[in-house]
C-alpha cells in the first residue's frame, strides 16, 4: 500500500502546522509561519513558499505582492511531526518591514565578532550578494543597482574609487560611525563589480583563506 507522503504531519486543531523558514545558504532563520495541507502540497509541487495566513484566513504565496519570493531548496519534518523546516533561497527581505529576517528585535546582546569569528559579517555579505544578483536579473524601475549594471564596469569602478576615498576620509576624521557606513558602501559597490564580472564570493573567499593559511 502506498503511504500518503504527508501522513506523518501532526496538524493542530485548526489543520495547521508551524513552519520555520531558514536561509538555505546561511542557516539564518527568516520567519515563523503556518501551513495547512494545501499550502504544504503546493510548496512541494512548485518549490515556492506557500503558507496559510491566519490573519487573512487564506492561502498565500510568499512574494505575491512584494516580489520577495523564496525558492524552496528542501522541506523537512521534525522528529515529532508537529513542525516543518523550509530551507529557501530568498530573492529579497523575508519580513514585511523590509528586514531580511522577521527576528530583528534583539532581547539578548549579540556575541562580539571575536566570539563569533565574524559570522554576522559573513551572513550579511552573502545576503547582500544574493540581493544584488536578484536585482541584476529583474530590477524594478528606479533601481540604483540596475543603473550601476547598465553603466558597466566604468560606472561601477568610478563609484568604487569614490567610496574608497570616503572610507579614507572617515578614517582620518576619526569618525567610527561614518567609517562603518562608508565601508558598507564600498563593499556594496565591490559586490556589484564582482557580479558584473561573474565572480562568485567563494572565489574571493578561497583567496583570502589561502592568504590566511600559515606559511609552510
Among 3.20.20.450, 3.10.20.810, 1.10.150.130, 1.10.443.10, what is the CATH number of 17-90? 3.10.20.810
Average pLDDT of 128-142?
80
pLDDT at 40: 96
Judged on CB neighbours under 10 Å (0-12, 13-18, 19+), 213 is exposed
Homologous superfamily assigned to 113-212: MazG-like (1.10.287.1080)
Cα separation, 175 vs 178, in Å, equals 5
Contacts of 195 (CB under 8 A, 6+ apart): 129, 132, 133, 136, 149
Say yes or no to pLDDT of 202 above 90.
Answer: no
Does residue 116 sit in helix, strand or coil?
helix
CB 86 within 8 A of CB 49: yes
Assigned C-alpha cell, 123: 551572513
Residue 86: the pLDDT is 95
Confidence of residue 2 (pLDDT cuts 50, 70, 90): very low
Distance CA 117, CA 207 (A): 18
Q: How confident is the model at residue 7 (pLDDT cuts 50, 70, 90)?
A: confident
Give the range among 20-24, 79-83, 137-141, 193-197 with minimum mean pLDDT. 137-141
- Domain coordinates of the chain in residue numbers? 17-90, 113-212
Amino acid at each position: 500500500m502506498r503511504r500518503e507522503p504527508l501522513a506523518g504531519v501532526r496538524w493542530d486543531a485548526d489543520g495547521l502546522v508551524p513552519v520555520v523558514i531558514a536561509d538555505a545558504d546561511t542557516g539564518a532563520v527568516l520567519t515563523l509561519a503556518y501551513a495547512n495541507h494545501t499550502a504544504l502540497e503546493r510548496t512541494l509541487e512548485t518549490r515556492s513558499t506557500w503558507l496559510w495566513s491566519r490573519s487573512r484566513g487564506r492561502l498565500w504565496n510568499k512574494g505575491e505582492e512584494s516580489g520577495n519570493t523564496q525558492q524552496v531548496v528542501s522541506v523537512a519534518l521534525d522528529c515529532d511531526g508537529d513542525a516543518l523546516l523550509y530551507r529557501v533561497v530568498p530573492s529579497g527581505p523575508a519580513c514585511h518591514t523590509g528586514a531580511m529576517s522577521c527576528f530583528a528585535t534583539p532581547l539578548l546582546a549579540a556575541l562580539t565578532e571575536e566570539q563569533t569569528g565574524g559570522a554576522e559579517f559573513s551572513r550579511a555579505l552573502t545576503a547582500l550578494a544574493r540581493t544584488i544578483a536578484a536585482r541584476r536579473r529583474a530590477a524594478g524601475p528606479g533601481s540604483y543597482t540596475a543603473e550601476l549594471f547598465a553603466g558597466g564596469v566604468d560606472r561601477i569602478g568610478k563609484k568604487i574609487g569614490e567610496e574608497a576615498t570616503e572610507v579614507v576620509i572617515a578614517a582620518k576624521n576619526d569618525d567610527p560611525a561614518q567609517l562603518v557606513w562608508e565601508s558598507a558602501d564600498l563593499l556594496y559597490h565591490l559586490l556589484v563589480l564582482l557580479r558584473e564580472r561573474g565572480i562568485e564570493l567563494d572565489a574571493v573567499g578561497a583567496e583570502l583563506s589561502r592568504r590566511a593559511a600559515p606559511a609552510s
